[in-house]
């Protein structure tokens, strides 16, 4: 064994793992000592989910609904593009790398996303891959938009966590991971950008295990890094996947081999890389847990694939992994009872609303996750919040940047329902039963700014635009009871920029955001008489949100404490429950 630079560190790691590994084996991996091939059953569905739940109808069982999450810039949108490419949804993936006009990705549909090369809003896409139907949501990584990402996580059954091979587990990855854990979401990991100088493979795996407290099992093992990166050894199927650097959209070349001592390996892997590969794979097989499908479904273990999204490398293996080890549509928490995906009756809930998504269709679309049943176009569903019937006559499926009329949808699918503002985030649709899906988060607005139209004559137009964004959930909008203008509340500063850009693009209105005299907003609830008295004595602090609900605006925490003390009959809250 030739000592390498990474040797001393790795030895430490080995010692550290031997101790921990032994513990892990007993805790999670009764199958650890069985040959890998017997355990994994990769490729076919061999999952034994050990539950008493009846088998799902095949149409539901073939659905995989997941979000792609990570720290900004790890490559989520690029990966989404390649998914679409392999799913046959688009001919040629757009170049995420190109900024400005040249950038034309399918999931970043807003102008600002195209200009800046960052995602500011979650977007859904449906496509077939082999026998499976994937419903994928690409999420923004920037924390200023995390409300959107957190809501998305309520609508999916699993998450693909993307890690930048050079950066490892970053702050936002950690936060999002915690949210997934709260919801017990299974997580599959993709370590991206292996074509660049990246960290030692063991180090990356260890960092995930340590920081996120989850078992990591390598589904593939990278061969070389940076310029030397030539592909991966598929740990689940014992074969080589070699990357084609010349053609970014080309599917990797697969070479079947018979185990690690197959002489064919030497024909494809240069000597200096082969030695390291053999040593590392042997060590990984010895020290790291073997893939346990049940532990993945329970969220205790994450399989990791290595690749390079921009070079389309490792993506297909990840997709196979999602098909084989990702969960089927799961039951949905709701009150007064849980909703099972195989219930005959149709139900679904709104987790996102987006206006003016496409300049060709100037309307508002509610993103609905189907929770149960087999939905058919034209069905009349009950809008539980208002108890009104709603004929869903033109639901859409999101296909790449286009939409197509959805003739049907099954539990697990994400469809769009165009509407005129009736559908709000958190709303549930059923065939009559008063079920309400709960747990959709709402963040307190942390930054407040005043907003004015560049042209004072356009104040009415501005009001319309702001109300639209408030209903969409993109911002909180308050109209102070004294004076003119509006106050906008958001979670992160970048949201102001997105709003300004959208108001200009979508409504043709240049606007100015400016410092506001207020810094905090609290919704005020209570008996009408107590509320009226409060409003009358605090006029200069009172505002109304887009629903006409009363909000107390101030810049002092002291004021809030005072109101709470002086008005014990009133309740002040930093967030407003979306579902009334």
Ligand X SMILES: Nc1nc2c(ncn2[C@@H]2O[C@H](COP(=O)(O)OP(=O)(O)OP(=O)(O)O)[C@@H](O)[C@H]2O)c(=O)[nH]1
Number of Cβ within a 10 Å radius of residue 308? 28
**Contact pattern for Mg ion over residues 106 through 135, marking x by CB under 5 A:** -------------x----------------
| Residue 192 contact, options ligand X, Mg ion, none, Cβ 5-8 Å cut-off depending on partner type | ligand X
Q: 139: annotated binding-site residue?
A: yes
Q: Which residue has the tokens 């008005």?
A: 567
User: What's the rounded Cα separation, in Å, for the pair 556 and 539?
Assistant: 16
Shortest Cβ 559–Mg ion spacing (Å): 40
The response to whether 559 counts as a known ligand-binding position is no
* CA proximity to 474, closest of 147, 12, 57, 45: 147
Q: For residue 412, state whether it binds ligand X (rule: CB under 6 A).
A: no
Among candidates 183, 142, 143, which has minimal Cα distance to 159? 183
Q: Are 312 and 85 in contact (CB under 8 A)?
A: yes
Residue with tokens 């017990």: 184
309 vs 563, beta carbon nearer ligand X: 309
Q: Per the annotation, does 75 bind a ligand?
A: yes
Whether residue 336 has a cis bond before it, omega within 30° of 0: yes
317 binds ligand X (CB under 6 A): no
75 binds ligand X, rule: CB under 6 A: yes
The distance from CA 72 to its chain's CA centroid, rounded to whole angstroms, is 12
The yes or no reply on residue 94 touching ligand X (CB under 6 A) is: no
Shortest Cβ distance from residue 459 to Mg ion (Å)?
35
Spatial separation of the C-alpha atoms in residues 355 and 368, rounded to whole Å: 14
For ligand X, which residue of 9, 26, 50, 97 counts as binding (CB under 6 A)? 97
Fill in the per-residue mask, 47 to 86: x = in contact with Mg ion (CB under 5 A), - = not in contact. Answer: -----------------------------xx---------
* Residue 142 in marked binding region: yes
204 vs 379 by CB, closer to ligand X: 204
Residues in contact with 279: Cβ distance below 8 Å, sequence separation at least 6, in sequence order = 1
Our finding on whether 24 is near Mg ion (CB under 5 A) is no
Taking the C-alpha atoms of residue 209 and residue 24, their distance in angstroms, rounded to an integer, is 11
Stretch that binds ligand X, among 39-47, 134-142, 152-160, 180-188 (CB under 6 A): 134-142
In Å, how far are 276, 365, 513 from 507, measured between CA atoms? 59, 17, 16
Strand partners of residue 232: 222, 241
What are the CA-CA distances from residue 532 to residues 107, 273, 306, 529 (Å)? 47, 76, 61, 5
- Pick the closer one to ligand X by CB: 75 or 289: 75
Which of positions 289-308 make contact with ligand X (CB under 6 A)? 308
The entry of Mg ion, ligand X, none that residue 374 binds, CB within 5 to 8 Å by partner kind: none
Please identify which residue in 6, 20, 59, 72 interacts with ligand X, judged by CB under 6 A: 72
Between 556 and 575, how does the x/- string for binding to ligand X read (CB under 6 A)? --------------------
How would you class 438 by CB atoms within 10 Å of its CB: exposed for 0-12, middle for 13-18, buried for 19 or more? middle
Is there a binding annotation on residue 51? no
- Cβ neighbours of 255 (radius 10 Å): 17
Residue 390 within binding range of ligand X, rule CB under 6 A: no
DSSP-based three-state secondary structure for 419: strand
Count, residues near ligand X per rule CB under 6 A = 24
- From the list Mg ion, ligand X, none, which binds 356 (C-beta under 5 to 8 Å, kind-based)? none
Cβ(14)–Cβ(296) below 8 Å: no
- Can residue 332 be called a binding residue for ligand X (CB under 6 A)? no
Helix axes 146-153, 171-182, angle to 10 degrees: 30
Determine if residue 135 is labeled as part of a ligand binding site.
no
Of 90 and 381, which CB lies nearer to Mg ion in the complex structure?
Answer: 90
| Residue 77, marked binder | yes
The smaller minimum CB distance to Mg ion, of residues 114 and 546, is found at 114
What does the angle CA 23 – CA 24 – CA 29 come to, to the nearest 5 degrees? 125
Site membership for ligand X, residue 73 (CB under 6 A) = yes
Residues binding ligand X (CB under 6 A): 70, 72-78, 96-97, 117-119, 140-142, 192-193, 195-196, 308-311
Binding region for GTP: 70-77, 138-142, 192-195
- The residues binding Mg ion (CB under 5 A) are 76-77, 119
């Amino acid at each position: 064994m030739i000592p390498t630079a990474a040797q001393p560190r790795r030895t430490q790691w080995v010692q550290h793992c031997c101790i921990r590994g032994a513990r892990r084996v007993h805790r999670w991996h009764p199958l650890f000592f069985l040959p890998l091939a017997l355990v994994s059953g990769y490729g076919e569905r061999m999952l034994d989910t050990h539950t008493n739940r009846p088998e799902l109808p095949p149409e539901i069982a073939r659905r995989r609904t997941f979000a792609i999450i990570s720290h900004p810039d790890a490559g989520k949108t690029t990966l989404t593009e390649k998914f679409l490419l392999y799913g046959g949804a688009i001919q040629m993936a757009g170049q995420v790398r190109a900024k400005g006009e040249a950038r034309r990705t399918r999931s970043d549909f807003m102008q600002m996303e195209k200009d800046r090369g960052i995602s500011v809003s979650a977007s859904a896409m449906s496509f077939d891959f082999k026998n499976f139907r994937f419903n994928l949501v690409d999420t923004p990584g920037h924390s200023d938009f995390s409300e959107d990402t957190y809501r998305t996580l309520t609508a999916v059954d699993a998450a693909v966590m993307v890690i930048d091979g050079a950066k490892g587990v970053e702050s936002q990855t950690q936060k999002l991971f915690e949210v997934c854990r709260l919801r017990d979401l299974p997580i599959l990991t993709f370590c991206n950008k292996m074509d660049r100088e990246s960290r030692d493979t063991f180090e990356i795996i260890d960092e995930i295990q340590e920081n996120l407290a989850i078992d990591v099992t390598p589904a593939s093992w990278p061969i070389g890094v940076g310029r030397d990166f030539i592909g991966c050894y598929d740990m689940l199927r014992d074969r080589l996947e070699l990357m084609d650097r010349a053609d970014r959209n080309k599917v990797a070349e697969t070479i079947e081999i018979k185990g690690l001592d197959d002489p064919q390996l030497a024909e494809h892997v240069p000597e200096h890389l082969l030695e390291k590969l053999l040593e590392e794979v042997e060590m990984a097989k010895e020290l790291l847990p073997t893939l346990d499908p049940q532990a993945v479904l329970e969220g205790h273990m994450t399989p990791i694939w290595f690749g390079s999204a921009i070079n389309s490398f490792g993506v297909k293996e990840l997709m196979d992994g999602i098909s084989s080890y990702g969960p089927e549509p799961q039951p949905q928490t709701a009150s007064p009872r849980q909703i099972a995906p195989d219930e005959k009756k149709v139900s679904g809930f709104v987790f996102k609303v987006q206006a003016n998504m496409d300049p060709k269709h100037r309307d508002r679309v509610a993103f609905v996750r189907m929770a149960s049943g087999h939905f058919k176009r034209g069905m009349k569903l009950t809008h539980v919040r208002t108890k009104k019937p709603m004929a869903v006559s033109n639901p859409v499926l999101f296909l790449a940047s286009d939409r197509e009329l959805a003739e049907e949808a099954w539990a697990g699918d994400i469809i769009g329902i165009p509407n005129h503002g009736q559908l709000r985030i958190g709303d549930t649709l059923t065939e009559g039963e008063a079920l309400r899906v709960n747990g959709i988060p709402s963040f307190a607005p942390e930054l407040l700014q005043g907003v004015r139209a560049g042209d004072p004559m356009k104040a009415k137009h501005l009001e319309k635009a702001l109300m639209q964004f408030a209903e969409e959930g993109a911002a909180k909008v308050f109209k102070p009871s004294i004076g003119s203008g509006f106050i906008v509340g958001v979670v992160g500063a970048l949201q102001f920029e997105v709003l300004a850009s959208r108001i200009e693009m979508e409504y043709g209105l240049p606007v100015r955001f400016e410092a506001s005299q207020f810094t905090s907003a609290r919704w005020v609830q209570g008996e009408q008489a107590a509320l009226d008295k409060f409003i009358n004595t605090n006029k200069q602090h009172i505002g109304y949100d887009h629903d006409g609900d009363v909000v107390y605006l101030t810049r002092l925490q002291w004021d809030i404490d005072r109101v709470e003390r002086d008005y014990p009959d009133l309740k002040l809250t930093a967030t407003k429950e979306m579902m009334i």
